[in-house]
A = this chain, B = another copy of it.
Amino acid sequence: MDRKDGIGGRELTTKDLVEMYRLMLQSRCFTEQVLVWYEEGRLPQGLHPSVGQEAVGVGACYGLGPDDWVIPSLRTAEAFWTRGVTMLEQLNAMLGNAASVSRGKETSHHAGYPERGILAGTGIVGGSIPVAVGGALALKMRGSEGVMVSFFGDGASNRGDFHEALNLAAVLEAPVVFVCENNLYAQTVPAAVGMAIEDIADRAMGYGMPGRVVDGQDVVAVYAATQGAVGRARRGEGPTLLECKTYRFLPHYPIFEEKRPAEEIERWRERDPIEMLGRRLEEEGLLDEQGKLEMEEAIEAELQEAIGEAEGMPMPDPQEVFENVYREPVEAMGL
C-alpha cells in the first residue's frame, strides 16, 4: 500500500521490527569483530565499516521480494544480510578461500549472489549506478515484476555516471530505486566541499523524477520510503531518488585517521539507528534488555563458529585464476 507522499509498504509487524533490529545488530557485531580480527592480522583485509548507517541497507532491502535485485555500495553490508547472505559466506569471501562465492577471485564487498538477487558492484565509485539501470531495464523487458535497488554514497553522486544513469532511468522509465547513503563524507572530503548543495535529493528534479530526503537513522522511515518508491517502480511509474541522511561512526577504512570534528561524531552517535529502534522496541514492550542480550549472544556464537569454519576451508587451487576470465580457458585466446 503506497500513499501519495511516497510512503509505502505493508504494515510492519512486531516480528518485522524485531528482525530489522536483529539484522542491524548482526551487521554491527560483524563489522566490529572483523575490524578486531583485521587488526590482529587474522583477516587479510578490513572493510568499509557501516557502523552508524545500518538502518539504510536494512530498511531499504527489507520488504524486497525474490524477483528484486540490489547492487550494494562498498559500504552496504546490510544489503547482504537482509537478502539472506550469511556471515560465514562473507567471511569466506574476505578470506578468499575455496568456499567463497567467487572462489577467491573477489572480496566480500564486491561479491555477487545472483540467487539472492545481489549483483556485485565494481570498485569504481558510482560505476554501478548505470549497471543498475540496465538491470532494471532487463527486468522490465523480461516482464518480471522485479525492481532494482541501487546503493551509492554522497560522493558517488558527483560522478558523471550518476547523472547519466539517473537521466537514462527517467527517460526509459526503468524500475529502479536509487538509494543515496549520504553520510556527509567521501573518504576524507566533506560533502560540503564536494558539492555546493545541501540535499542531493534536489538533483532528482533535473531528471524529472521524484527525490526525497529520508531520515537514514530511522529504519522504519527508510523502509517506508523505499517501499513507496519500489511500489511506483513496480507499477511502471519509473525511478525515484531517495537520499538517506546518515553518518558513519568510524573512519572510512581502518587505515584512515579520524579527522572529523569530535562533536559532530558525538551528535550523530546520539542518533544510533540500533539504539533508536531498540528504545522503541523496549518502550512498546516488544524486546527487552534481556532479549537484546540473547540476540547478541546468538549472533556472536554464529560469528565465532563461522570464523572457525571459514578458516578451516581450503584455499582455491592457484590454477583456477585462469577460469572464468572468458567462457573458454585463457589459453584459447591465442596470446
Contacts and interface: CB of A to CB of B under 8 A. Distances in A.
A160 interface: yes
Interface string A190-226: 0001111100001101111100000000000000000
Given A171-B195, A196-B208, A197-B207, 4 more contacts: A167-B195, A196-B207, A197-B208, A202-B206
Interface of A: 158-164, 167, 170-171, 193-197, 202-203, 205-209
Given A196-B208, A205-B206, A164 B170 contact: no
A314 B170 CA distance: 53
Nearest to A126: B160
Nearest to A193: B171
B161 A160 contact: yes
A105 B128 CA distance: 39
B170 A159 contact: no
A197 B206 contact: yes
Given A159-B164, A160-B161, A167-B158, A205 B205 contact: yes
Between A159, A171, A194, the greatest number of chain B beta carbons within 10 A of the residue's beta carbon is seen for A171
A195 B202 CA distance: 17
A204 to B, nearest CB: 8
A170 B192 CA distance: 11
A163 B195 CA distance: 11
A275 B70 CA distance: 55
Contacts of A170: 195-197
A160 B171 contact: no
A164 B158 contact: yes
Closest 8 CB pairs of A and B: A160-B160, A196-B208, A163-B163, A203-B206, A170-B196, A197-B208, A206-B206, A160-B164
A116 B161 CA distance: 35
Between A164, A193, A196, the greatest number of chain B beta carbons within 10 A of the residue's beta carbon is seen for A196
Contact of A160 (B159, B195, B207): B159
Contacts of A202: 205-206
7 contacts: A159-B160, A159-B163, A160-B164, A167-B194, A170-B197, A197-B207, A197-B208
Contacts of A209: 196
Contacts of A162: 160, 163
Contacts of A208: 195-197
Nearest to A162: B163
A202 B160 CA distance: 17
A195 B160 CA distance: 15
A159 to B, nearest CB: 7
Nearest to A211: B206
Contacts of A193: 171
A290 B205 CA distance: 50
